[in-house]
Amino acid sequence: MKSLLISLLAFCLPVLGFAQTPVSAAVNSAGWKRVAFVNSASGRGFGKVSVYSTGSSSTPYHLDIEWFKDWSVTGGISISSNSTSGYWNEARLTYDGDSTFIEVNFTRDVGSMAIISDTYGWNSAQPFSGILPNGGGTVRALTKVGKLAIGENLMVAFNGNVGIGTLNPSSKLSVNGTVRAKEVRVEASPWPDYVFQDGYDLPSLTDVKNHIERYGHLPEVPSASTVEKEGIDLGKMNALLLKKIEELTLHLIEKEERINSLDERIKLLEKN
């Protein structure tokens, strides 16, 4: 029996040592607030801090923050949250004196909430309690709230948009940088084979010349200023470029037929 009790204590004590105890906190105004801190070893460490709302009949909002700070000035932060709009929209890592602070940008006051600092990691942060103090200090890392956010490296927004190198993806995939791939397949419709169909109104070269002189670009093709501002749709642009090639091909065929006809007339005149 004695050996059994010793075995149970050996099993339970490590578990009890790693128990997490949430602290109660509140936010009295919108803005950057400190939720946890590390004030030893130059603020160095890494870990996880979770913030969640309490005292409501609705499903609580939560915010999970994973952070690190090294000996020098390097810091990193990644976050995930189920809050689509309420309570918070950003988190950051700041450094002031010899302390590192995990801060959250609240969009409103929050009367009842809890903060937990996960005990995994090293030199884990200590949560603030009561009315949270205002944020400040030198920013080492910052990211916006989404379903998943890792600085400006990766953002998965609540509307399903994904951003790489940007915190504000405006489309299903927004990339601020170079994309390298073995193959890219783009759907484009309608494909401009209709240019070769009977009844197509082929613009004359005179009309094309007049348009270029007036606007400085081909008909239907966006201007340089528009492309610089809005970018291009790869599918539509490829279809448009093919359309211009097909129109140009029709003009070349027409010119070749006229040249051949003139050659025949010249040969006939020379023979006579």
Residues 242, 127 share a domain: no
Residues 86, 30 share a domain: yes
Which residues on adjacent β-strands are paired with residue 142? 92
- SS3 (DSSP) at 69: strand
Output the pLDDT for position 15: 39
* Domain termination residue (choose one: 111, 145, 179): 145
The model's pLDDT over 154-193, given as tens digits with 9 standing for 90+, comes to 888 877 889 999 888 888 999 999 999 999 888 888 899 9
Residues 199, 130 share a domain: no
Residues 134, 57 share a domain: yes
Residues 35, 139 share a domain: yes
| CATH value at residue 82 | 2.60.40
What is the C-alpha to C-alpha distance for residues 55 and 187, in angstroms, rounded to an integer?
50
**Sequence-ordered alpha helix ranges (H) in 187-233:** 205-215, 224-230
Tell me the pairing of strands 45-53 and 62-69. antiparallel
Residues 23, 102 share a domain: yes
Residues 113, 24 share a domain: yes
Residues 221, 136 share a domain: no
- Residue 160 falls within a domain, yes or no? no
The number of domains in the chain is 2
Domain span holding position 29: 18-145
Residues 212, 113 share a domain: no
Residues 78, 134 share a domain: yes
The model's pLDDT over 53-69, given as tens digits with 9 standing for 90+, comes to 887 655 678 899 999 99
Which run of H or of E encompasses 53? strand 45-53
pTM reported for the whole predicted model: 0.60
Residues 205, 134 share a domain: no
Residues 139, 245 share a domain: no
- Residue 7 falls within a domain, yes or no? no
The model's pLDDT over 98-122, given as tens digits with 9 standing for 90+, comes to 899 999 999 889 889 999 998 888 8
Residues 158, 75, 139, CA angle at the centre, nearest 5°? 80
List own/partner pairs for 217-220 with CB under 8 A and 24 or more apart. Answer: 218/244, 220/244
- Residue 155 falls within a domain, yes or no? no
* Other CB atoms within 10 Å distance of the CB of residue 115: 23
Q: Which amino acid is at 2?
A: K
- Residue 231 falls within a domain, yes or no? yes
* Domain termination residue (choose one: 75, 110, 145): 145
